[in-house]
């Protein structure tokens, strides 16, 4: 007879799974067998989101497995879960900024996700700010929220820094409206002509961002980048700049810190665990962002020195640490 699993993990990688969610799911699958050998683990899940496989297939799979606990590491959950469960929510950006979300998103959260979260044994999230939003927007009992910062696995050795014809600033991520890339481009374009500097963004060409330009710099779109290319871009940049109005955690910020690169970011995009090591400005304030970028360009040695300190102070934020803490939540809930 097959032993009843202690924990069943939803391992789906769907069309709606963001890059950060993918990294999280893959880290759980990679590290759980290593750090939680005392737990009987099972994996389940197939299909995409908002389909019969999600709403019918997942509950049936759990009914067959009968785990002591199920873990959904994304908000894509079935309405009915026949076993005790936990859910990870990285952010509530679509609820905080509904003007930037599709209209059906609010309905999905109201009638599917929110009731499931309120009935969960625990809701895991990345930062204290999201805990507050879970209480405000969803009505989750704060006593059932567990805050576990995310992590990164740093290559050893680190890839060589990317070298361009001019110094450059770097942003990594998607181009959704809440990322506020328009403020970043405006701040970069307004830097003095005497300071030649490029701005490199990951992702495809975005014509809407071409309205302004720097007289002695290039706005470059790097397209889809491999993990190695991202680390090279981080390492070669004068600074990593993250203008998002909100993040759940913001993995690129931690990646940049672990690459030894100064990080400039909007205040509300920085998780509490990284705030001491990030140069922050009020979200949406292109003038304040420009002032910070000027300081980076005028005194790169001072910013580089602070970045070396930040790299040491954030080195403990690894995926292994994240998954160990998650396994502790499992043990708490099934104990």
Whether pLDDT at 2 is above 70 = no
Phi-psi region of 121 (alpha: psi -120 to 50; beta: other; left: phi over 0): alpha
Q: Which two tokens stand for residue 280?
A: 């922050």
Q: Which two tokens stand for residue 43?
A: 């994996």
Whether pLDDT at 3 is above 70 = yes
Into which CATH architecture does domain 7-151+318-334 fall? Answer: 3-Layer(aba) Sandwich (3.40)
pLDDT for 213 equals: 86
Specify the DSSP element, H or E, that contains 199.
strand 198-201
The domains spanning 7-151+318-334 and 168-313 adopt the same CATH topology:
yes
> What's the mean pLDDT in 92-113?
92
Confidence of residue 143 (pLDDT cuts 50, 70, 90): very high
Roughly what angle, to the nearest 10 degrees, separates helices 227-236 and 251-258? 60
Tell me if 7 sits within 8 A of 67, measured CB to CB: yes
Q: How far is CA 260 from CA 21, 72, 130, 168, 226, in A?
A: 24, 33, 27, 15, 19
pLDDT for 179 equals: 97
C-alpha torsion angle, residues 29, 33, 34, 39 (rounded to 10): 130
Specify the DSSP element, H or E, that contains 125.
strand 122-125
Whether the link from the prior residue into 157 is cis, omega within 30° of 0, is: yes
Q: How far is CA 44 from CA 49, 58, 300, in A?
A: 14, 8, 49
Specify the DSSP element, H or E, that contains 294.
helix 286-298
Sheet strands side by side (includes 69-72): 41-44, 7-10, 69-72, 85-88, 122-125, 145-147
> How far apart are the C-alpha atoms of 116 and 99, rounded to whole Å?
24
Averaged confidence pLDDT in the chain: 96
pLDDT for 102 equals: 87
Whether pLDDT at 303 is above 80 = yes
Q: Does domain 168-313 have CATH number 3.40.50.2000?
A: yes
Whether pLDDT at 264 is above 90 = yes
Confidence of residue 103 (pLDDT cuts 50, 70, 90): confident
Q: Using a CB cutoff of 8 Å and minimum separation of 24, what contacts does 28-37 make?
A: 28/71, 28/73, 28/323, 28/326, 30/319, 31/319, 31/320, 31/322, 31/323, 31/324, 32/7, 32/323, 32/326, 32/327, 34/320, 35/320, 35/323, 35/324, 35/327, 36/7, 36/323, 36/324, 36/327, 36/330
pLDDT for 115 equals: 97
Whether pLDDT at 273 is above 60 = yes
Q: What is the pLDDT of residues 52-90, one digit of tens each?
A: 999 999 999 999 999 999 999 999 999 999 999 999 999
> What's the mean pLDDT in 289-307?
97
Three-state secondary structure call for residue 232: helix
Whether pLDDT at 1 is above 70 = no
- Domains in the chain: boundaries: 7-151+318-334, 168-313
Report residue 3: phi and psi, to 5°. Answer: -65, 145
């Amino acid at each position: 007879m097959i032993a009843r699993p202690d924990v069943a993990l939803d391992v789906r990688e769907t069309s709606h799974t963001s890059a950060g969610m993918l990294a999280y799911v893959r880290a759980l699958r990679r590290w759980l067998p290593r750090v939680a050998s005392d737990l009987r683990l099972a994996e389940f899940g197939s299909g995409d989101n908002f389909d019969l496989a999600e709403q019918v297939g997942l509950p049936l799979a759990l009914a067959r497995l009968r785990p002591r606990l199920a873990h959904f590491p994304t908000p894509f959950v079935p309405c009915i879960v026949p076993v005790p469960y936990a859910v990870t929510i990285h952010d509530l950006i679509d609820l905080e900024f509904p003007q930037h979300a599709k209209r059906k998103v609010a309905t999905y959260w109201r009638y599917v996700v929110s009731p499931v979260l309120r009935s969960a044994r625990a809701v895991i999230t990345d930062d204290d700010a999201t805990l507050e939003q879970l209480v405000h927007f969803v009505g989750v009992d704060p006593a059932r929220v567990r805050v576990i910062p995310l992590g990164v696995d740093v290559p050893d050795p680190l890839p060589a820094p990317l070298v361009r014809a001019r110094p450059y600033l770097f942003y990594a991520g998607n181009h959704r409206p809440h990322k506020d890339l328009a403020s970043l481009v405006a701040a970069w374009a307004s830097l003095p002509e005497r300071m030649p500097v490029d701005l490199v963004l990951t992702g495809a060409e975005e014509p809407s961002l071409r309205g302004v330009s720097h007289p002695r710099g290039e706005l470059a779109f790097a397209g889809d980048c491999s993990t190695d290319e991202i680390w090279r871009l981080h390492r070669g940049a004068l600074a990593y700049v993250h203008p998002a109005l909100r993040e759940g955690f913001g993995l690129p910020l931690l990646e940049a810190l672990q690459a030894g690169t100064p990080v400039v970011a909007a205040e509300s995009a920085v998780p509490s665990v990284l705030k001491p090591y990030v140069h922050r400005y009020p979200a949406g304030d292109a003038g304040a962002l420009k002032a910070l970028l000027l300081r980076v360009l005028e005194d790169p040695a001072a910013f580089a020195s602070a970045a070396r300190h930040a790299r040491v102070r954030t080195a403990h934020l690894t995926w292994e640490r994240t998954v160990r803490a998650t396994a502790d939540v499992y043990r708490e809930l099934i104990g």
